[in-house]
Chain A
């Protein structure tokens, strides 16, 4: 889709994907220096173990992501008792499903229906349900989404390729407290007959934020 690259968030010359390449003749990126300095200082003071930082990064880069939420959605699509529990008491349902709790200690799952479409934001910062979706995509944390989704949700959803008809109610959930929200997208009719493994590929991260809907995997053979 056509869009303009927003440079406001990366306003450092030559910085965009900087850091790994320390050219000894160029001034190092101040953000790199500040970060390295802070870590070194705290390590000297015996306050941090860099290996713990490595472990955290590894978990969120490689293990905790939307595939977890997708499994939960598929289970809700195929097990009505689980679905009912998930909507009534998400914490209990997610614990049963083996989902962790960091930044999702108090969860609410929002059901999309033929008359209600839910979408989640944190206008004030970037609160996001990490245990089921991993860390948020850059656009979720940036000012365009945060400022506009509460004011003109249908226009923003259209930018994401989602058209919401006039007879549907759009609910925008601003995660301003410690509750974390995840959308339970509707199951597409075309997905009936698929097994759980295949179904999981129909559940996108965007559908669990509410800026998309569940759909057939791109490029998949039916």
Chain B
């Protein structure tokens, strides 16, 4: 049970979800990807606005539990998380500022390399 004396410690240390395990990365920084066209009925952290969109991997954050699995009680299914940059016109089409961009942190299972494009 959480007691008052433990509150400073949890605020200080937090609860990092980052995992020490090494999982083979499917993608590398600088690579162009396209997000999958998935519409899971359960929890996902791939927003609707960013499905089937082309982006560029900007950072590799490390390995974290995959939310779609862990919310379903299917275990952590650890995967690499990357910071991906999408140009505003790619996400929204016309009537956006051409310089602007949206950055999302995405797991391996949300992404496809351009070679894997469906069709």
Contacts and interface: CB of A to CB of B under 8 A. Distances in A.
- Asked if chains A and B are in direct contact (CB within 8 A), the reply is yes
Interface in A151-201: 151, 153-154, 166-179
A209 to B, nearest CB: 15
Interface stretch (A19-27, A42-50, A212-220): A42-50
Interface stretch (A7-15, A33-41, A76-84, A101-109): A101-109
Nearest to A171: B101
B99 to A, nearest CB: 4
Contacts of B64: 177-178
A54 interface: yes
B2 A101 contact: no
A169 B101 contact: yes
Interface string A97-141: 000111111101000000000000001100000010000000000
Interface in B49-91: 49, 59, 61-62, 64, 81, 83, 85, 91
Main secondary structure of the interface of B (DSSP, over half): mixed
30 contacts: A46-B1, A48-B1, A49-B2, A52-B1, A52-B3, A52-B7, A55-B7, A59-B11, A100-B11, A101-B13, A102-B10, A102-B14, A105-B16, A105-B18, A108-B59, A108-B83, A169-B101, A170-B97, A171-B101, A172-B100, A172-B101, A172-B102, A174-B47, A176-B45, A176-B47, A176-B104, A176-B105, A177-B107, A178-B81, A179-B105
Interface of A: 46-49, 51-52, 54-56, 59, 64, 100-106, 108, 123-124, 131, 150-151, 153-154, 166-179
